[in-house]
Amino acid sequence: MRTTNTFGVQFITRTNKAKDGLLPIYARVTVDGRRVEISLKRWIKPSDWNGSKGMAKGSREEIKSLNHYLDEVRARIMECYQEMQVQKRLITADAIKSMFLGTDQKDFTLCKLVDYHNQTMRDTLAWGTMKNYFTTQKYIHRFLKERFGTTDMFLSELSYKFITDFEFYLRNYKPKDHQKPLGNNGVMKHLERFRKMVTMAVKMEWVSRDPFDKYQLKFHRVDRDFLNDEELEAVENKDFKIVRLQWVRDLFVFSCYTGLAYIDAMNLTPSNITIGIDGEYWLSTCRQKTDQPVRVPILPKAWEIIEKYKTHPRAVQRGAIFPMISNQKLNSYLKEIADLCGIEKNLTFHLARHTFATTVTLCNGVPLETVSKMLGHSKITTTQVYAKVVEKKVSEDMQNLREKLAAPKLMRRAK
């Protein structure tokens, strides 16, 4: 691994920081064109300083003593540089300065960065997002222990190779519990979160160079699953004898006709129901995940479910439209519903949001821009992953048209 191309030490004074007619002396360290300055806590008269040679001039004893000190400083800085070369560490001007001052990057470690990020972002990011960052943190700790036999490392030691080694580790990690090994996109999501934390360190100047500069995340495009018309109808019309399954089914269908994510549906209160520009009822809320405003006209089936639960004691007690249920339990019960309805797809609450985007809206001619707005997407490109559904619908419709147009010709030929 290349360490540096250029390295130099120069002593300078600062006239803009003169005090009582004296100039402060600094050691300027330059590595690969980037430089830092170290205050030496020494002062000198302008007339006693040789700027071109970077040293004091004269033969007085105090001048000789100062120049001897500067020689010692230069030797110590060179020693720091050579020590980092031997250790094969990433050499930067900041790292040399830290080693010279005795901090030696002790305040700038990987684990401290992760802890700092998770603490500062705790009140900014949604809890579901923070849980993912905590999982990434666990993988980083395991990687450091298994790959390097340590619990932490300096940020200055991060490199492109560290990132690719971490990627290899994630791809080959075999969980000891019931969880499945990480797929490509799961690995990329951990590296994406890791990159965001490193970017924070770069902005705070905890590290002088971004090791992710030449690294590219490679996500595989995944088809979003959803319920088609027949499957959605099967869920809607299924007669469940168990009350909890009726309740979960209703919440799921509500999301199929509103596009709301789990947490946004659970957070709905009567105040979120407003009168829209068309005089009809609308849902007006904000996505907790992105803080994007969402306004969705309430379709008849969604309104029926609101009416059904608005007086439910547990909903009234919490001042919400629906009684509370955890996302984990909800998804667990949806597996039962899928079995009872003969649906082989992985039925989760988030699949209802995909169903709203595809089967309920796009397949019924609602423009992509409108769907994007109702889903609360900040960029329309996020919504375009559903465009393939529209293409499939066009293909099916055109095939039906071909058959209709071809039928009369066949009849004429038969005559």
Instruction: For the chain, give the secondary structure using H, E and C.
Output: CCCCCCEEEEEEECHHHCECCEEEEEEEEEECCEEEEEEEEEEECHHHEECCCCEECCCCHHHHHHHHHHHHHHHHHHHHHHHHHHCCCCCCHHHHHHHHHCCCCCCCEHHHHHHHHHHHCCCCCCHHHHHHHHHHHHHHHHHHHHHHCCCCCEHHHCCHHHHHHHHHHHHHCCCCCCCCCCCHHHHHHHHHHHHHHHHHHHHCCCCCCCCCCCCCCCCCCCCCCCCCHHHHHHHHHCCCCCHHHHHHHHHHHHHHCCCCCHHHHHCCCHHHEEECCCCCEEEEEECCCCCCEEEEECCHHHHHHHHHHCCCHHHHHCCCCCCCCCHHHHHHHHHHHHHHHCCCCCCCHHHHHHHHHHHHHHHHCCCHHHHHHHHCCCCHHHHHHHHHHHHHHHHHHHHHHHHHHHHHHHHHHHC
pLDDT at 390 (0 to 100): 64
pLDDT at 394 (0 to 100): 73
Q: Can you tell me the distance from the alpha carbon of 350 to that of 226, in angstroms, rounded to the nearest whole number?
A: 9
Averaged pLDDT, 82-106: 78
For the four alpha carbons of 243, 267, 350 and 373, in that order, the dihedral sign comes to positive
Looking at beta carbons, which pairs linking 12-16 to residues 24 or more positions away fall under 8 Å?
12/37, 12/51, 12/54, 13/44, 13/46, 13/49, 13/51, 15/46
Per-residue pLDDT band at 1 (split at 50, 70, 90) = very low
pLDDT at 272 (0 to 100): 95
pLDDT at 409 (0 to 100): 53
pLDDT at 237 (0 to 100): 94
Whether 164 has a pLDDT exceeding 50, the answer reads yes
- Could you report the per-residue pLDDT of 305-344, keeping only the tens digit for each? 999 998 999 999 999 999 999 988 999 999 999 999 999 9
Q: Can you tell me the distance from the alpha carbon of 408 to that of 19, in angstroms, rounded to the nearest whole number?
A: 100
pLDDT at 281 (0 to 100): 94
Whether 173 has a pLDDT exceeding 60, the answer reads yes
Contact between residue 32 and residue 4 where contact means Cβ atoms under 8 Å apart? yes
- Could you report the per-residue pLDDT of 337-377, keeping only the tens digit for each? 999 999 999 999 999 999 999 889 988 888 888 988 898 88
pLDDT at 410 (0 to 100): 46
pLDDT at 176 (0 to 100): 78
Answering whether pTM is above 0.85, one says no
- Could you report the per-residue pLDDT of 198-209, keeping only the tens digit for each? 999 988 878 878
Mean pLDDT of the chain: 88
Better pLDDT: 202 or 128:
202
pLDDT at 242 (0 to 100): 92
- Could you report the per-residue pLDDT of 259-300, keeping only the tens digit for each? 999 999 999 999 999 999 999 999 999 988 778 899 999 999
